[in-house]
Amino acid sequence: MTELLELMGAPGSPYTRKMVGLLRYRRIPFQVSWTAGRPPRPGYPVPKVPLLPTFYFPDGAGSLTAVTDSTPIIRRLERDHAGRSVIPTDPVLSFLNDLIEDYADEWLTKAMFHFRWAHKADHDNAGPLLIYWSQNGLDADAAMQMAEKISKRQFDRLYVVGSNQVTAQTIESSYERLVGILDALLQKRGFVLGARPSSADFALYGQLTQLAIVEPTSAAITVARSPRVRAWVDLMEDLSGLDPQPDDWFGADAAREALGPLLAEIGRVYAPFLLANAEAVMAGETQFKTEIDGRAWTQPSFPYQAKCLKWLREGYDGLSGNERGSVDALIAGTGCEAIFT
Ligand SMILES: N[C@@H](CCC(=O)N[C@@H](CS)C(=O)NCC(=O)O)C(=O)O
């Protein structure tokens, strides 16, 4: 019998949805427990940093190890399971895939958290869902009491992702632009990097399972701006029937023609964030101020996102001279070049 890869998460966790979509597409047999932070079975290991999703990988000695962080887990799955890869074979496209995946995981999630908690309609909608996603049989009064508590706590934590009265416009405009950009990009060949999905598609999809569907405000923006993007989210959920071909990835010319607007959006909002955050982390500052898209941006600094910058730079440095030249040409004038200079 095939061993099932086991993971734990929640339907409201964008990273859990990113991984479940990816496992379905890759046809990796799995079982997911929607226990939202509680171990799926007694005696299961707890990760050092508890995050959703948590994967339980066999350690080769009959036990399980608890592993988190979707991006390296995707690369591990590439090594462990052949075929239906989500990493482009061309190093230049693979580098762009890493950059877009990182933007979706680390920037777009700000929009997800902001839209979920900043406006009353969304906040009132999400509170009970968060409870029922993990304890579906709970009595309604108890659920409502817990929902109020959790909603208040999340509202008070909006500052953590940089959401406040001043940055609200920056975050919301950036999301609106992204929907328009994806609309044009997906029309070309169906996915971000061609006619087959990459890990960047699954990262965007994970955030959009919430933004485009769960939060009333951003869901209305999404479908009004692009019914195509809204429909794409449903298609991404289960791509087990897609038959990807090696030449389904964009070639150099198609990539140049297609990806400019998305890279310009990343350069416009994510590049200044990554740089200011890393500078603050290096200086040992717990808070930083910068300007993003012409408005003030303030938030606590995060060592994890300084590591994201380091990994992106290592990816860039690992390219050959020719490949780096191609990347430089693709990102010239987008604002992304600031990340690598
Ligand atoms: N970089 C991680 C991020 C995972 C993450 O932040 N998950 C959120 C839920 S979507 C989480 O577990 N937050 C803490 C919590 O809910 O207790 C990944 O890609 O998996």
Which of 28, 45, 80 is where one domain is finished? Answer: 80
Determine if ligand 1 sits within 6 Å of the CB of residue 70.
yes
Q: How far is the CA of 51 from the centre of ligand 1 (A)?
A: 4
CA-CA distance, 52 to 5, in Å (whole number)?
A: 15
Structural domain span for residue 115: 91-340
Q: Nearest C-alpha to atom 7 of ligand 1 is from which residue? A: 52
CA-CA distance, 4 to 19, in Å (whole number)?
A: 14
Which of 80, 108, 136 is where one domain is finished? Answer: 80
What percentage of the chain exceeds 90 in pLDDT?
98
36 and 140, same domain (yes or no): no
Q: Nearest C-alpha to atom 18 of ligand 1 is from which residue? A: 69
Q: Which helix (H) or strand (E) holds 278?
A: helix 271-282
143 and 97, same domain (yes or no): yes
Give the pLDDT mean for 48-69.
Answer: 96
160 and 251, same domain (yes or no): yes
Determine if ligand 1 sits within 6 Å of the CB of residue 205.
no
CB 300 within 8 A of CB 286: yes
135 and 12, same domain (yes or no): no
66 and 96, same domain (yes or no): no
**Number of domains comprising the chain:** 2
- Find the DSSP H helices in 104-198: 109-117, 120-134, 140-156, 168-189
What percentage of the chain exceeds 70 in pLDDT?
99
pLDDT exceeds 70 at position 2: no
274 and 255, same domain (yes or no): yes
Residue 3 confidence (pLDDT): 87
Q: What would the pLDDT profile of 193-248 be if each residue is shown by its tens digit?
A: 999 999 999 999 999 999 999 999 999 999 999 999 999 999 999 999 999 999 99
60 and 99, same domain (yes or no): no
Q: What would the pLDDT profile of 281-296 be if each residue is shown by its tens digit?
A: 999 999 999 999 999 9
Domain membership of residue 73 (yes or no) is: yes
In ligand 1, the atom with minimum distance to the C-alpha of 71 is: 19
Domain membership of residue 10 (yes or no) is: yes
Determine if ligand 1 sits within 6 Å of the CB of residue 15.
yes
Domain membership of residue 134 (yes or no) is: yes
108 and 62, same domain (yes or no): no
Q: How far is the CA of 83 from the centre of ligand 1 (A)?
A: 27
Give the pLDDT mean for 315-335.
Answer: 98
Tell me the pLDDT of the chain averaged across its residues: 97
Domain membership of residue 254 (yes or no) is: yes
pLDDT exceeds 80 at position 1: no
Domain membership of residue 86 (yes or no) is: no
201 and 268, same domain (yes or no): yes
Q: How far is the CA of 50 from the centre of ligand 1 (A)?
A: 8
CATH number (domain holding residue 75): 3.40.30.10
Q: Nearest C-alpha to atom 14 of ligand 1 is from which residue? A: 51
Which of 52, 80, 108 is where one domain is finished? Answer: 80
Determine if ligand 1 sits within 6 Å of the CB of residue 14.
yes
Determine if ligand 1 sits within 6 Å of the CB of residue 105.
yes
Give the pLDDT mean for 78-102.
Answer: 98
Sign of the alpha-carbon dihedral angle for 113, 118, 124, 125: negative
164 and 33, same domain (yes or no): no
189 and 160, same domain (yes or no): yes
Determine if ligand 1 sits within 6 Å of the CB of residue 302.
no
One-character DSSP codes across 49-74: S--SSEEEEE-SSS-EEEE--HHHHH
Give the pLDDT mean for 105-111.
Answer: 98
237 and 188, same domain (yes or no): yes
Q: What would the pLDDT profile of 158-171 be if each residue is shown by its tens digit?
A: 999 999 999 999 99
